[in-house]
Chain A
């Protein structure tokens, strides 16, 4: 097939209008050529003999009449061993390697090998000659950090194939042929460890999708107990600036009980992802004792990097997540922030002069957001094993107002909503997840009745506080006052958590369950309190002791001693003890 080319006839921002002859495909990749530079672009609209392309880099200096080379390939990522520990831009260009070759700045028109080219991996075959295989079936495996990385039949192989030959156990580079398979028509295909997949299409090389039920423990109490996330589920974190979205994502990326974490820094501050990039290699994963970076992939397309690549970065991250899910692993994708991704779509839509929807977002905003979150899920693989991809996206609503298109479209499709509130973050109550507004459709790690009791107290406590603002403390009965103090206690010692303390930052499942029982017993106890001042002193004292307790390591002697002190304090005040 001869290469299609076209000529630029219009430029506006990062959009090109290109006149072409022959056949081109929607979403195929083209390169705008200017001197030695080749600028990667994607076809986003075709009209007669004109194609509209979004350029993933700055269009400065391009000129009418410049040539565009079409590739007939959709925008794709390379899959294979070597993805873990990598730091990519939105188009899977490895940033550290770019820095090594080009210094401080991101050069235009440079594409590097995302899997490090010549590196060799120790391949152990699984499939045998004569086996019948389908897309996603395992041909062999290589060790990658602490994982067994399965080498699969490429996902775009349709139908059944017979293994003709497979290479013996030995080191190979990702591009070397490790197996040969024959299709039904008798044509043979050489397979390497590396293959590509178009980022905007979901990988579906599995048996079926199943309902997510198992909780994904993040070790953040308010999430796991009150607004849980399931392995294979979806959740969103909307919040105004300064409410702690990023800290919450960082904490989750460190402590979440999953195999692999993919961090997509999409249009946010470079400084934040730099912290992750520099700190993760130094931190150890408590589960495996190895560097946290060994289970992490970072996609960094920060706010000053090209907008079109920002749109692609979310899909790149999702595709990598789907790839590892096919190996039967539990993957967590954290996208910060999906609003920037939506804004990238808006910029593009504006350039295409499409009729705008609400706040100038394109009419297809909702369906794009739905498509994205639908790529999460728990799946049963062809071999019966399970794998999951969980997606958590932050949303940055303008002015912190949730009544805006991106938040609303997201709420329709996610399984849990962790709404951050300005009032809570101003009061330094972190994590600032609003306990009254947030919700989750997944199962908690504690019994539902307990959660209900707590929620009732939080609601009643909030009602009492509203009333107290009108009638003052004097006009409030002691019973109501105690309800208020109990709900405040629950808030201070359970909902709030200190992300910067090494013990309190992550609370294990057992500890949460244990603490929840203690909290329920306090909430349900009737205390012998007649004076408000006395009640306040008692609850403040109790609060201080439980907060101290939160900072003590689980199940140590010190922990038990502190528990005794708390129990004694309660015993002294409880009625009919």
Chain B
């Protein structure tokens, strides 16, 4: 039987201190207050003083409240029964279902030996052309979605979750608004994907500290499933809230802040979560997509900045679309040579033309006269945005490539596209070209 302590010496922020002995670092304790029970984790030991961060927050903690140490660090259940279930940031059911206590595993486990990693080479199809064609997602990749408040980043995550070719989806919500989380749930339910999903949701109404555990819970479970050969997609939203929780605890603990109040170990903290993305040799893989909202749309803010150095590229979500510039999948080169032979050419060619369209668009808005070439670009830009960039587009990679050729042929002559002649010969849609070109010239 573990010892119970009932003398809380100090309460500061969400950190309480008790006098206790024989306590392990990062050990878990249960604190019983008037408001109910909450978990707490040891974050500092000094002589017989034990500092704990209280997941439910310190509001209502009295000096005579009972603290019971559990003798183990934070754990989470791991079982097939978790599929379709929703848990809180402390790992307790949020959906009213039974508690799952079998197969407890520790969270925040050791890092993967680099010698056991393999070079990733499996593409994950999402049926979103801006991802599949232009910045392919690769199994074991870690990618943030850089966005700002108000953008439909959670809708995008839900769509990827629905359509991605993976065995299971684990969602970690940190500071998620209640209706966002309900929408997520409903989308997956309607799409029939709920029974292969596990949710760990910390809502904006929950105590801040609880959000800190969410990525670790989600990733620990993901890791176990991946070791069993499952292809797991982990979705985290929003990692900026996670970083803000870290900041809050660090400041309560009187740590010296490094940049805009964030602790000096922000990089290591984020990295230890993102680096859980892995392709196990001879087993499954973990792919991580994480929303990072950029305060003030500023990519040099410490959270997106540190994230960018850790992750393998990034997607920028602006004006409801994945930006073709700035967005980058560092691993796309590993997979896009083996899809279809026109993949890389379409990827480069269409983007270069779109860049030219943007220049023309700028000239047009400044009132310059448009040349015939400019008119072609304007038409192209519009078709590209509607047919490729819009998030409502939902077609497989091959369909998207065909559509790419069709858009090009509706606007340009083959030699104007800069695409290699042998590809043009094979893929240029001959029949469409003549009539469409005429029609195009009439409308312009």
Contacts and interface: CB of A to CB of B under 8 A. Distances in A.
Contacts of B95: none
Interface string B294-331: 00000110100110111011000000000001001001
The CB with the most chain B CB atoms within 10 A, among A10, A107, A278, A303, is that of A303
A360 B257 contact: yes
Contacts of B325: 426
A401 interface: yes
21 contacts: A9-B47, A10-B45, A58-B110, A59-B25, A60-B25, A62-B24, A63-B22, A63-B25, A64-B45, A95-B114, A99-B113, A99-B115, A102-B113, A105-B112, A267-B271, A271-B120, A277-B114, A340-B267, A350-B255, A396-B309, A399-B299
A304 B275 contact: yes
B114 A11 contact: no
A275 interface: yes
Contacts of B43: 12
Contacts of A17: 46
B180 interface: no
A485 interface: no
Nearest to A348: B264
Nearest to B120: A271
B55 to A, nearest CB: 18
- For chain A, which range describes its interface: under 10, 10 to 19, 20 to 34, or 35 or more residues? 35 or more
Contact of A98 (B22, B115, B118, B255): B115
Nearest to B326: A426
B119 A274 contact: yes
B227 interface: yes
A278 B118 contact: yes
A61 interface: yes
Contacts of B259: 359-360, 398
A99 B116 contact: yes
Contacts of A360: 256-259, 264
A305 B111 contact: yes
A300 B114 contact: yes
B110 A106 contact: yes
A279 B116 CA distance: 14
B48 A105 contact: no
A286 interface: no
Contacts of B120: 271
A303 B116 contact: no
Nearest to A399: B300
Given A304-B275, A349-B256, 20 more contacts: A59-B25, A60-B26, A63-B45, A98-B113, A99-B115, A103-B113, A103-B116, A104-B112, A104-B227, A104-B280, A105-B112, A106-B111, A242-B308, A271-B117, A304-B112, A305-B111, A347-B264, A350-B255, A360-B258, A361-B258
Contacts of A9: 46-47
B143 to A, nearest CB: 12
Interface in A420-473: 426
Contact of B265 (A108, A273, A300, A307): A307
A9 B140 CA distance: 41
- For chain B, which range describes its interface: under 10, 10 to 19, 20 to 34, or 35 or more residues? 35 or more
B349 to A, nearest CB: 14
Contacts of A340: 267
Contacts of A486: none
Contacts of A240: 308
Nearest to B352: A428
Contacts of B60: none
Interface of B: 21-27, 43-48, 73, 108-120, 140, 227, 255-259, 263-265, 267-268, 271-272, 274-276, 280, 299-300, 302, 305-306, 308-310, 312-313, 325, 328, 331
List the 4 closest pairs (A to B, CB-CB), nearest first. A399-B300, A303-B271, A304-B275, A360-B258
The CB with the most chain B CB atoms within 10 A, among A87, A241, A270, A340, is that of A241
A11 B256 contact: no
Given A64-B23, A242-B308, A399-B300, A356 B114 contact: no
Contacts of B114: 87, 95, 270, 273-274, 277, 300, 302
A107 B110 contact: yes
Interface of A: 9-13, 17, 58-65, 87, 95-96, 98-99, 102-108, 240-242, 267, 269-271, 273-275, 277-279, 300, 302-305, 307, 340, 343, 346-347, 349-350, 353, 356, 359-361, 396, 398-401, 426
A116 B256 CA distance: 43
Contact of A64 (B21, B73, B276, B328): B21
Contacts of B21: 64-65
Given A12-B44, A104-B113, A269 B119 contact: no
Contact of A242 (B46, B257, B328): B328
Given A103-B116, A300-B114, A241 B264 contact: no
Contacts of B227: 104
Contacts of A267: 267-268, 271
Nearest to B258: A360
Given A98-B113, A398-B300, A11 B309 contact: no
Contact of A399 (B115, B274, B305, B310): B305
B256 A350 contact: yes
Nearest to A345: B264
Nearest to A102: B113
Given A104-B227, A241-B309, A304-B275, A343 B268 contact: yes
A103 to B, nearest CB: 7
A105 B113 contact: yes
A59 B115 CA distance: 24
A274 B111 contact: no
A112 to B, nearest CB: 12
A103 B302 CA distance: 35
B264 to A, nearest CB: 5
B348 to A, nearest CB: 10
The CB with the most chain B CB atoms within 10 A, among A64, A271, A361, is that of A271
A511 to B, nearest CB: 27
